Amino acid sequence: MTQIIAVANQKGGVGKTTTSVNLGASLAVIKRRVLLVDMDPQGNATTGIGLDKHESPVLLSDVLLGNEDIKDAIQTIPDSTIHGLAGGPDLTIAEFEMMRMDEREYRLKKVLKHVKDDYDYIIIDCPPSLNMLTVNALVAANGVLIPMQCEYYALEGLSALIGSVKTIRDSSNASLEIIGLLRTMYDPRNNLSRDVSNQLAQHFKDKLYNTSIPRNVRLAEAPSHGLPALMYDKRSSGALAYLALAAEVIRKESARKAA
């Protein structure tokens, strides 16, 4: 079964896009069929895999609004097996237009149905808010991956997100679950980070990934070359951490299936 993962956190700058791109690239490198869907009007995941956020053959907004076929919007990337569904500023218009439509929260789920079986993993990069684009991602997904920085205010925002996940599970997507919390830009030498990390481990137990992502400049540089870190510097600590995360995501999924 295809695992559809929404990478969500309504806080900006916590590493959602970096995680979507690099987890996607890592899963692709270990021979999983991956589609990366950019639901953020900022289009950073799109440029992060070398696609153009202003110039896609068919816009994701038109697919969501029912004007175009999703198959025509999916793009392949040279030297990579990952496929991309590019997002950009047009998504802001789609969000607005969707508000007038019936079953507006099901738009993404409906279109993904047509291509889902072509992939092992579909990774959806969410915008930094709990808007209709994020709701569409959460309704389409079966798992939510929450990247977070281990800072004092990190926990505050978390309850709003967990609340939304519960609401969506009760109303429109019973199979939705939080598959994992990911510590990003993590520095275990920092006391506060370690404290917050311990609190997360206590509260979320095995939902907290063992893998944490270190702060690594290669992860920040790679997008300006339109490349995932694995293709930019495969020996960097950031690239290796995301490979480890991909392995953990796969392991956890098989453990869940076996349970």
Interface residues with ligand ADP (CB under 6 A) are 12-18, 44, 128, 184-185, 213, 215-216, 219-220, 238
CA nearest 122: which of 170, 74, 168, 169? 74
CB of 217 to ligand ADP, least distance (A): 6
CB of 102 to ligand ADP, least distance (A): 30
CB nearer ligand ADP, residue 18 or residue 61: 18
**Phi, psi of 185, deg, nearest 5:** 50, 40
Contact assessment for residue 229 and residue 239, using Cβ atoms and an 8 Å cutoff: yes
Which of Mg ion, ligand ADP, none does residue 216 bind (CB under 5 to 8 Å by kind)? ligand ADP
CB of 108 to ligand ADP, least distance (A): 18
Name the residue with tokens 């990366």: 36
CB nearer ligand ADP, residue 34 or residue 146: 146
Q: What residues line the site for Mg ion (CB under 5 A)?
A: 16-17, 44
Which of ligand ADP, Mg ion, none does residue 220 bind (CB under 5 to 8 Å by kind)? ligand ADP
CB of 161 to ligand ADP, least distance (A): 12
Which of Mg ion, ligand ADP, none does residue 193 bind (CB under 5 to 8 Å by kind)? none
CB nearer Mg ion, residue 44 or residue 216: 44
CB nearer Mg ion, residue 16 or residue 83: 16
How many whole angstroms separate alpha carbon 163 and alpha carbon 159? Answer: 6
CB of 148 to ligand ADP, least distance (A): 9
Which of Mg ion, ligand ADP, none does residue 215 bind (CB under 5 to 8 Å by kind)? ligand ADP
CB nearer ligand ADP, residue 43 or residue 238: 238
Burial category of 144 from C-beta neighbours within 10 Å (exposed 0-12, middle 13-18, buried 19 and up): buried
CB of 22 to ligand ADP, least distance (A): 9
Which of Mg ion, ligand ADP, none does residue 15 bind (CB under 5 to 8 Å by kind)? ligand ADP
CB nearer ligand ADP, residue 140 or residue 245: 245
